[in-house]
Amino acid sequence: MNKSNIVLIGFMGCGKSTIGRALSEKTGFRFMDTDQLIEHTAGMTIPHIFLKYGEQYFRMLEYKIIRAISENPHQIIATGGGIIKNPDNIQMLAQQGSIIYLKTSPEQIFSNIQYDETRPLLQGENKIEKIRLLLTERIPLYEKYQDYTVDVTNLSVEEVVDHILEL
């Protein structure tokens, strides 16, 4: 198989962008972050897109970005946590990419993002409850679509990067 892209999937705050950037530095592959590309295309931040146009519109932009980039080779692609909601997204990404699920615990996610205000789906009270609820829906999908899973809970960025490169 000659799939040259590495595609990172996983819940918000699991480290997809940080690990993706580090992987890109180490491999020389181009780093693509779907959230960043969406913001760039829309000319506004993700919270602003959700507020002004709603989640469905955001998902449509997400789909279009994936369609535009997924066939290009030699990329590290960091995706948004909800990418797995549309099977077409994964189908496109998997054509040229190995799908790597960065798995972590709700507690770790909470600790990574508790002061973050840029994730519309986790705004307001009871963040840990929201995380748990969304994880219940999503874990089966991350598991279904992964080619490889890396449990990042107690690993440094360096360790995760080395592990992925070994895979």
Taking the complex as a whole, how short is the minimal distance between the CB of residue 89 and ligand S3P, in angstroms? 11
Say whether 56 sits in a helix, a strand or coil. Answer: helix
Taking the complex as a whole, how short is the minimal distance between the CB of residue 7 and ligand S3P, in angstroms? 13
Binding site for ligand S3P (CB under 6 A): 12, 16, 35, 46, 80-82, 119-121
* Beta partners for residue 99, in sequence order: 7
Question: CB-wise, 51 or 73, nearer to ligand S3P?
Answer: 51
Question: CB-wise, 67 or 73, nearer to ligand S3P?
Answer: 67
Taking the complex as a whole, how short is the minimal distance between the CB of residue 18 and ligand S3P, in angstroms? 10
Neighbours of 121 (CB within 10 A): 13
Taking the complex as a whole, how short is the minimal distance between the CB of residue 2 and ligand S3P, in angstroms? 28
Question: CB-wise, 62 or 164, nearer to ligand S3P?
Answer: 62
Question: CB-wise, 78 or 164, nearer to ligand S3P?
Answer: 78
State the amino acid at position 77 in one-letter form: I
Q: Report residue 19: phi and psi, to 5°.
A: -70, -40
* Close Cβ partners of 34 (under 8 Å, ≥ 6 residues apart): 62, 65, 66, 69, 77, 78, 79, 80, 83
